[in-house]
């Protein structure tokens, strides 16, 4: 939110006062004096007026996790191990998953408390490629490549999938890049050819690749550089 809007939403300040105190450089955001009314205030920013705290700010947290098979992409589940059970972090209830994977799908999961960041990652409009390694029951034919590139009609949602890139690696294996995340999307795309997906593993989301040092079930914090790429 813009700084002037953030300040004028406070009950004690009206717009005229806000304009004035910005000109007088009485506001600090994350330690910097700010007079620009357009300055972006995020939910994690610390905002001070004359040294008094208006918003305390909290650290934003970002993790990548190698989801193992046999684990639910949810924050709580009465019966099964969840992705969040694998994290040894405080205040886990503040964290959410940026995109989900099926119970038996493995691979890259991103977990954060920054809603704006995860929206950028998962919104179909941003068209960030999600890359999957796939193994199937039947032979993957070359004709799939064109069909996936043209899009497949999903009658349940009454939509055609966005163009997807398929690279055939072997008779039963391929790498597929999709830019959306419809329900069971990869399985349904191969299902179009009555070809069952036997193994599915997410390698990449946009510019972020699963760290090969992470074994299934392990995780690490993202680096500042990785966070900024989204
Ligand atoms: N597509 C699927 O069918 N399953 C997943 O877990 C991810 C994408």
Mean pLDDT, to the nearest integer, of 173-201? 96
How many Å lie between the centroid of ligand 1 and the Cα of residue 134? 10
- Which atom of ligand 1 is found nearest the CA of 130? 8
> Does the beta carbon of 102 lie inside 6 Å of ligand 1?
yes
- Whose C-alpha lies nearest to ligand 1, atom 7? 101
- Which atom of ligand 1 is found nearest the CA of 197? 3
Mean pLDDT, to the nearest integer, of 175-182? 94
Domains and CATH numbers, the chain: 3-55 (3.10.290.10), 62-224 (3.30.2350.10)
CB 132 within 8 A of CB 200: yes
Q: Inform me whether the pLDDT recorded for 124 exceeds 80.
A: no
Tens digits of per-residue pLDDT, 149-177? Answer: 999 999 999 999 999 999 999 999 999 99
> Does the beta carbon of 101 lie inside 6 Å of ligand 1?
yes
Confidence bin at 12 (pLDDT 50/70/90): confident
Among 35-44, 124-133, 193-202, name the most confident range: 193-202
For residue 201, which of 69, 9, 65 has the smallest C-alpha distance?
69
Instruction: Give the pairing of strands 62-67 and 106-112.
Output: antiparallel
């Amino acid at each position: 939110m813009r700084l002037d809007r953030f300040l004028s939403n406070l009950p004690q300040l009206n717009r005229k006062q806000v304009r004035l105190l910005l000109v007088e450089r009485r506001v600090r955001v994350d330690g910097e004096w700010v007079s620009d009314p357009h300055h972006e205030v995020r939910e994690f920013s610390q905002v001070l007026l004359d040294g008094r705290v208006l918003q305390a700010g909290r650290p934003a947290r970002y993790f990548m996790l190698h989801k193992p098979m046999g684990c639910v992409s949810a924050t709580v589940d009465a019966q099964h191990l969840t992705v969040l059970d694998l994290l040894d972090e405080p205040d886990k209830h503040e964290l959410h998953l940026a995109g989900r994977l099926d119970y038996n799908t493995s691979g890259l999961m991103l977990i954060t408390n920054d809603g704006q960041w995860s929206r950028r990652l998962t919104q179909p409009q941003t068209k960030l490629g999600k890359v999957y390694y796939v193994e199937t029951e039947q032979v993957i034919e070359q004709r799939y490549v064109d069909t996936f590139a043209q899009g497949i009609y999903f009658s349940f949602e009454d939509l055609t999938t966005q163009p997807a890139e398929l690279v055939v690696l072997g008779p039963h294996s391929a790498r597929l890049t999709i830019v959306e995340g419809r329900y069971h999307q990869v399985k349904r795309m191969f299902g179009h050819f009555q070809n069952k997906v036997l193994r599915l593993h997410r390698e990449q989301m946009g510019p972020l690749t699963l760290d090969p040092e992470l074994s299934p079930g392990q995780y690490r914090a993202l680096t500042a550089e990785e966070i900024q790429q989204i």
